[in-house]
Structure 1
Amino acid sequence: MFLDTSFLVNDEIQLCLQKTVDGNVEKEWLPTYHFAICDKQGREMGVCDLRVGHNLNTY
């Protein structure tokens, strides 16, 4: 279950959700949000991802 991310914005930048990836218990992969970091005009300035959870494969 992925949550709405449209609130991830301030006066200068916004995180624009590009995709979500479900976790995989067998491979110990965590659910992940992939974002573009955009300015207020929507121009992409970078990328980041957020893995939700913790296991021995994350650090």
Structure 2
Amino acid sequence: MDEVADGIGHKLYEEVRGIKAKAIIENRKLTIDEFNNIKNLEEKSLKLYDEAWIKIINK
């Protein structure tokens, strides 16, 4: 779990945070592309954490 959180999981989180921050700074809503990108990044992150959790419980 820590490997995901310290590696790709954190990078995915930073990407999402960056997309949201840009929209806030520009005082606008997310574009459809930004929204879909965030959704895809969050789904990827969830899959990685789920896989890590399965490895933990199957030890």
Q: State the TM-score, normalizing by the size of structure 2.
A: 0.20
Q: Which has more helix, going by share of residues?
A: 2
Larger RCO (CA within 8 A; separation ≥ 6): 2
Structure 1 or 2, whichever has the larger Rg, is 2
Q: Which has more strand, going by share of residues?
A: 1
